[in-house]
Structure 1
Amino acid sequence: MISDPELGEEWKTEALEPDRPGDRPAPGERAAGGPGPRPWLWALGGALVASAVWAGGLYAYGTAQPEIRYRESANLCQDFRATALSGITGDMHTKKPLNLQSDHPAVYAARCGLENAGKDGVATDFAVVAQVGLHKKTDPSAEFDAPDLRVLAYTGDARTVAVPDLGERAEMTVTSGERWLILKVLDGGVVFTLEAGATTFAETNGRPATDVDAVQAAMIEDMRALMAALRTD
């Protein structure tokens, strides 16, 4: 695995899958038999309802059974308050959240999807997805470094950095365009994932302009709060 710099150091851009001539259609073209271009927010929003795809990706493999130090979340949208992110985007709990659970013998998973609302109470330009995968049978560390296939499918490349002092291991991935961010944490037999992004970080829908560094800092703060809320020891 390529060793990534810690958050705060200069980021390195690493292609998760190199392009080959002819692999990708020209901008605006549609590959034969394949889907047309999809913005990342569509991918993130679609992930909120694609429960079959989500559940199908939750499998465990590894070595010894982990020592689990977190409880199952019966309603992740109650445990995940997104307080720091709401300070940037507006209250993320204004709109009805999407809450999902999956109790499998190998992995108990919970997922919460949140969207902000503009001054009209309708327009959405910022989405957040929190997910907790509690691995009951095997240690999830063996799969932690596996690349996110959605990043490969929708962006083709991304930059990933280690986040210090957060769980056993943590990493932040920022996709090309810096509008889709994924924070992933491994700790106590659990994989925590927090995704956030916007159609734009400029001022829009009554939301003030911000930058990607502020969003990352808010994600880390909200992740710490979620982990503390579920911690059992």
Structure 2
Amino acid sequence: MISEPELVGGPEEGPRPELLDADEGPTLGERVRALARLPWVWAVGGAVVASALWAGGLYAFRDQGPDQRGYRISAETCDRVPLSAISGKLGERDRATDAFDRSDDPAFRRTECHMGLKSSGARTAGRVTTYAAELLVEEHLKTDPGPELGARLTSGRYGLDDPVVSPVAGLGDRAFLVRAPEHGYVEADVRLVVQDGGVVLTLSVTGNVDLNSDSPDPVDPKELNPDYTGVPKLMESDMRELMAVLKK
């Protein structure tokens, strides 16, 4: 008959269980408590638990996608957009002209807000000029938008051919001002693009010059570019306010 091997512990680890006949031996609970006093049991158990926790944490990291930074984007987002700085210069928001669009996918959500401004007599070379604002929120839920953002800025993805792109400090992870080139646009815009974790926010201001309005003699087309003097700084201010509002 082959008996069970003795479990050997260290010199200070308490009494080891004795091997007794079945009729006189310790109960199952006593055997478990005896094993628990042995250091190698804790070492093996700790390694198993640590391995399980690490694997679980890695799985969770891979599964959750990029950090959404606490943004709360919904069907009411467009109503919540503040344009405090922009409207002070270009005209109050004209909510009657607002338009909203939203697409929802497990990997990507897109929200568009088109907002008219009640321009107050703005003119460009004597022609009536109106302005509008737009907000685009792109929520990347599975992949990081960072690697492709630079290419999107210069590829015409944001509606401009050969745009002028300038970095802007102090907004999100990184931010860029995207402007039309200076060559005779009668409808042009300025865009502020911000990446904050997995969320990309684009705030745009568009000026439209009405060529059919009463005007003086014809002018050089370059003089028909809408006036954006000071507008980029106003957009930065509104973007900071907007990012705070959308996280509440």
Given residue 67 of structure 1, which amino acid in structure 2 is its aligned partner? Answer: D
Give the fraction of aligned pairs with identical amino acids, expressed as a percent. 32
**Correspondence for 2:199 among 190, 207, 210:** 190
How far apart, in 1, do the equivalents of 2:151 and 2:177 lie? 14
Return 5+ residue gaps in structure 1 as ranges: 1-62, 205-209
2:176 corresponds to: 171
Deviations along 1:42-101, one digit per CA (max 9) or x if unpaired, are: xxxxxxxxxxxxxxxxxxxxx982011112232222121212111111112343310111
1:182-221 aligned at under 5 Å gives the runs: 182-199=191-208, 211-221=227-237
What TM-score results when the alignment is normalised by the length of structure 2? 0.57
1:1-233 aligned at under 5 Å gives the runs: 65-69=65-69, 70-118=71-119, 125-148=130-153, 151=156, 156-177=161-182, 179-199=188-208, 211-231=227-247
Given residue 79 of structure 1, which amino acid in structure 2 is its aligned partner? Answer: R
Contact between 1:94 and 1:117, CA under 8 Å: does it hold in 2?
no
Query: Superposition RMSD on alpha carbons, in Å?
Result: 3.0
Number of equivalences: 160
- Secondary structure of the 2:118 match is coil
- Secondary structure of the 2:147 match is helix
How far apart, in 2, do the equivalents of 1:98 and 1:124 lie? 20
How far apart, in 2, do the equivalents of 1:128 and 1:82 lie? 9
Give how far 1:211 is off.
Answer: 4.6
Given residue 65 of structure 1, which amino acid in structure 2 is its aligned partner? Answer: G
Task: Using CA pairs under 8 Å that are at least 6 residues apart, name the structure with larger relative contact order, 1 or 2.
Answer: 1
Which one has a larger percent strand, Structure 1 or Structure 2? 2
Structure 1 residues 101 and 154: alpha-carbon distance in aligned structure 2, compared to 1, 3 A threshold: closer
Given residue 163 of structure 2, which amino acid in structure 1 is its aligned partner? Answer: A
Contact between 2:85 and 2:237, CA under 8 Å: does it hold in 1?
yes
Contact between 1:113 and 1:128, CA under 8 Å: does it hold in 2?
yes
Q: Which structure has the greater CA radius of gyration?
A: 2
Which one has a larger percent helix, Structure 1 or Structure 2? 2
